[in-house]
């Protein structure tokens, strides 16, 4: 049975993307592959209409974490002092990456349920001589959209560079590329871009790449990949099939009106799911205005285990996602990324009503 994926990547594919993934056998040392690579770099820079003279996309094989680790380990200079903002699993991951690579940093820990405290960030930047701020745009742990435009302004004011995890927002949320403080974002093919897993990328300012410190790792060093890309080469075996799929996914994104049309579409889907669940007595974990368009988290109603909800929805053709860490018993997550049609949405709403029908009755009695 075909299941529709409501987890935050990998996503349900369009038929076009699925076919593209297996459309050709390509050797990565042949002209055809380098044409593909050039198309991908150009296509990724175009998603937010960036100036290709100032920005480039560096592609590499791996999941979103590969891009994140490559961005931090490649772009933080030897004398960096990074302020890491944490309000979920992915912010904590950035701090771990800094620790592993011996990059001096200070983590600003927030509760997973809390918004970033920008006043505290302002004070920290004023006092702390930080060279960089690293943060998560869409914290997929809870579905919170962090205020990265405000953060970019704070960085500008204090002369800090900004590095963003945009893994679950690139292609569907607004990213402050116009801010001169933003040096790079890390992202992946298989979330809001609707490609398949295996290909990750860092969109970075060419100036930041040019100033990158000597390599801390062999595989994750962005200047190595960028330099090969620029001369139609590749240092290692790239995820060719994920590249073929992403090229098609970028064509489809453009045809559908680009990232802002995708954001509007995601908003419509996420709002419809929220209304349906609220009508069944299931409360969202965060208010809609704090949430991304990509993923929403919900409180498990009393008497319902995650496993029971998950299994009942899977039987009806939908794969949802558990809460992470301490939130695993409290909440579940529904992402509406990927190829989800209006018909699918209707079936999903029916399935949610079915599965949560007794919630309202239980609360009313």
Ligand X SMILES: *Cc1c(COP(=O)(O)O)cnc(C)c1O
Least CB distance to ligand X at residue 169 (A): 8
291 or 359: whose CB is closer to ligand X? 291
Binding status of residue 168 toward ligand X by CB under 6 A = yes
**Residue from 48, 90, 259, 332 that binds ligand X (CB under 6 A)?**
90
Nearest to 76 by CA among 220, 177, 252, 264: 220
8 or 43: whose CB is closer to ligand X? 8
Under rule CB under 6 A, which residues in 284-303 are in contact with ligand X? none
**Residue from 9, 61, 198, 323 that binds ligand X (CB under 6 A)?**
9
Alpha helices per DSSP H over 129-166 = 148-158
Question: What is the chain's length?
Answer: 365
What does the per-residue mask of binding to ligand X show for 59-78, with x meaning CB under 6 A? ----xxx--x----------
3-state SS string for 161-214:
EEEEECCCCCCCCCCCCCCCCEEEEEEECCCCCCCCCCEEEEEEEHHHHHCCCC
76 or 351: whose CB is closer to ligand X? 76
Neighbours of 233 (CB within 10 A): 14
Under rule CB under 6 A, which residues in 10-69 are in contact with ligand X? 63-65, 68
Least CB distance to ligand X at residue 181 (A): 20
Binding status of residue 91 toward ligand X by CB under 6 A = no
Contacts with 46 (C-beta within 8 Å, 6 or more apart), sequence order: 250, 254
Nearest to 56 by CA among 181, 180, 308, 226: 226
12 or 188: whose CB is closer to ligand X? 188
On the 0-12 / 13-18 / 19+ scale of CB atoms within 10 A, 255 is exposed
Q: Which residues make up the interface to ligand X (CB under 6 A)?
A: 8-9, 63-65, 68, 90, 136, 138, 140, 165, 167-168, 188
């Amino acid at each position: 049975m075909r299941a529709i994926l409501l987890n935050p990547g990998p996503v349900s594919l369009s038929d076009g993307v699925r076919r593209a993934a297996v459309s050709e056998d390509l050797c990565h040392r042949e002209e055809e592959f380098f044409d593909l690579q050039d198309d991908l770099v150009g296509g990724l820079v175009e998603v937010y209409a960036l100036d290709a003279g100032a920005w480039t996309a560096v592609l590499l094989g791996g999941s979103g974490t590969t891009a994140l680790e490559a961005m931090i380990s490649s772009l933080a200079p030897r004398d960096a002092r990074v302020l890491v903002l944490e309000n979920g699993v992915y912010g904590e991951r950035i701090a771990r990456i800094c620790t592993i690579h011996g990059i001096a940093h200070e983590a600003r820990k927030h509760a997973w349920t809390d918004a970033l405290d920008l006043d505290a960030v302002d004070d920290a930047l004023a006092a702390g001589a930080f060279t960089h701020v690293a943060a998560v745009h869409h914290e997929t742990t809870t579905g919170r959209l962090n205020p990265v435009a405000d953060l970019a302004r704070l960085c500008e004011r204090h002369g800090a560079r900004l590095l963003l995890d945009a893994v679950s927002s690139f292609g569907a949320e607004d990213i402050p590329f116009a801010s001169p403080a933003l040096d790079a974002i890390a992202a992946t093919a298989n979330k809001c871009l609707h490609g398949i897993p295996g290909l990750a990328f860092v969109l970075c300012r060419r100036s930041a790449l040019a100033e990158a410190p000597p390599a801390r790792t062999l595989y994750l060093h962005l200047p190595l990949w960028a330099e090969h890309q620029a001369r139609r080469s590749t240092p290692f075996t790239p995820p060719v099939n994920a590249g073929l799929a992403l090229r098609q996914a970028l064509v489809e994104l453009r045809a559908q009106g680009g990232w802002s049309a995708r954001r509007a579409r995601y908003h419509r889907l996420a709002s419809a799911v929220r209304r349906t669940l609220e009508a069944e007595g299931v409360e969202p974990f965060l208010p809609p205005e704090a949430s991304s368009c990509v993923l929403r988290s919900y409180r498990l109603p009393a008497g319902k285990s995650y496993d029971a909800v998950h299994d009942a929805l899977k039987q009806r053709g939908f794969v949802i996602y558990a809460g992470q860490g301490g939130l695993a018993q409290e909440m579940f997550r529904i992402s509406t990324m990927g190829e989800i049609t209006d018909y699918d949405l209707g079936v999903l709403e029916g399935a949610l009503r079915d599965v949560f029908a007794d919630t309202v009755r239980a609360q009313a009695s």
